[in-house]
Amino acid sequence: MPLRDTSADHAAADRTFQVDLRGLVDLLSHHLYSSPRVYLRELLQNAVDALTARHAVEPHGNFGIRLYADGKVVRVEDDGVGLTEADVHTFLATIGRSSKRADLIAEQRADFIGQFGIGLLSCFLVADEIHVLSRSARTPDAPAVEWRGRGDGSYTVRTLPASARPRPGTTVTLTPRSDAGEWTRPQQVHALARHFGSLLRHPVTFDDGSGGSGTPVNPEPAPWARSFPTPGARSRALAAYGEEVFGFTPLDTIELDLPAVGLKGIACVLPEAVPAGRRHGHRVHVKGMLLSEQAEEILPEWAFFVRCVVDAESLRPTASRESLYEDATLAAVRDALAERLREWIARAAASDPDLLGRFLQTHHLAVKSLAVHDDEILRMLLPWLPFETTDGHTTLDEFARTHRTVLVTSSVEEFRQVAAIASAAGLGVVNGGYTYDRELVHRMPEIRPEVSVADLDPATLTAHLDPVDRETELAAAPYLAQARDALAVFDCDVALRTFQPASAPALLVDSREARHERTRSRLAREQEGGLWGDILGALRQEAPRAQLILNQLNPLVRTAVAIDEPELARTSAEALYGQAVMLSRRPLRPAESSLINRSFLDLLAHALRKDS
């Protein structure tokens, strides 16, 4: 049987998506826009783009934007290009289509702020009805067009006589809902206009209905766009603007200028240190309109010692217009701004050592993070950077003058264990336990070839401790044996040496890696025979032992090694070990805390028995 063509019976019909406008507005308010306050930014943005289009038609016209809010209505009026009735049907009634995509102005795409055509919907965050009255500047004697859109998705359009709006342009009027007073009070509207539009290139005024002539919202251009009589006056104006925007007095102000992308602005050096990796948001304007106060992406992570305010022409906003679109242009801007910061550091190093000193004192950690990855900054600033050493906090350049061999520890704990003894022995040791420090110290020979750098090895330190004479060592042997037995539970050997300072009774030579290896070895023994034991056994190395080195020059040690009572000898050895652990300032293990308490109580009990 031949197959029957049933396509005619099941013809597919094209249908149009139905949009729930209230649901869409709820989606915008909760997921696209950060706050209902953006409604005013969107109205200002539409007005600015309309003025841009009007200037394309009449380049020498004197046009502006006027805001009005009296607590009952919010009105934004512009002298822009305006809309015809066809424009209204096409652009105001079609969600997602931008009036600025019209063919007549498509070639001027880069001159406009907006890109997405959904901005007008943000007005429904604060009002249930939007009233638009517009008259086109492109058509002589064009009638006025009125559009009313409501939150339920309905709208009306009607044509009015030209006298309804004598001049071309557009007026948008909102009647705020009762729950939107927070964002539509006159004082708030004025504050939002200043917040978003202080750098706009078109004049904007605000009227609160009190009868005045209107308050300028953006009375003067950004300070980097103005002329000043002297470089000093310019620097002071830029610093004052940075303080006004960010609320702190900058340590210095770096002017930013990238002509290729039309970016100008300033970077304010923070006067106080911030934790490494904490990225501050930067204030970014696009064509004068504030886009974001928290734009982290315009600078690399290492640049957390500055906050920037910039105005750019070529950066692309995301759909919410509250952040930047990550593209090749943004990547190029980030690299170029990073280079400006490097140039500022280089200039300070070459011509303003006082400024460089204040900067490094405050932000040495940020500079260290930069020097790790930047050879130029490394060569310029490594000798100037402060480090913790056995000579105190000093620069590597100064430290290397007295120590041709620089030893560096792998942890803060290790440095604290050996600092006093190493200093007395004349060893030059740098604390490499802080972020970036060990890696940077090892690069010192690249800057100072005459200096050698090596990791501190326990054997290096103990080699500088003087042995005791044979007679003293033999006399102390019974005590040392008792001490080794008492401390065997901690995998700790005991030795007797002489070293400075004499006030230090003992030195505990032990590293975190050694303790981890001993813990792994112990677990392997406990788990022997099982799968976990086999894994740990495969990882096991020869477990390095800790070493408690007693100082024969110390009166307490000389008294202890003469003890001939076994229990008291063990207790004193435990007390010396506990004191050495505490002097190392590393965290105590539970067994060590228990040992310290027990040895103290035993010594106290012994003293009480002796007195009685």
Short-list 191, 190, 196, 192, CA closest to 209: 190
pTM as predicted: 0.68
**Cα distance between residue 421 and residue 476, in whole Å:** 22
**Phi then psi for 239, rounded to 5 degrees?**
-65, -40
SS (H, E, C) 432-473: CCCCCHHHHHCCHHHHCCCCEEEECCHHHHHCCCEECCHHHH
Tokens describing residue 453: 């750098």
Residues in the chain predicted with pLDDT less than 50, given as ranges, are 1-3, 8, 96, 99-110, 112-117, 531-532, 535-536, 538-539, 541
What pLDDT score does 95 carry?
57
Q: Identify residue 307 by its one-letter amino acid code.
A: R
What pLDDT score does 110 carry?
46
**Cα distance between residue 279 and residue 299, in whole Å:** 9
What pLDDT score does 361 carry?
87
What pLDDT score does 203 carry?
95
**Cα distance between residue 232 and residue 553, in whole Å:** 63
What pLDDT score does 265 carry?
97
What pLDDT score does 599 carry?
85
What pLDDT score does 367 carry?
84
Cα–Cα distance list, 577 to 412, 508, 570 (Å): 20, 8, 11
Cα–Cα distance list, 113 to 12, 30, 200, 222 (Å): 41, 23, 11, 18
**217 in Cβ contact with 194 (< 8 Å):** yes
Q: 397-451 pLDDT, tens per residue?
A: 889 889 999 999 988 878 887 888 888 888 899 999 888 899 999 999 988 899 9
What pLDDT score does 610 carry?
67
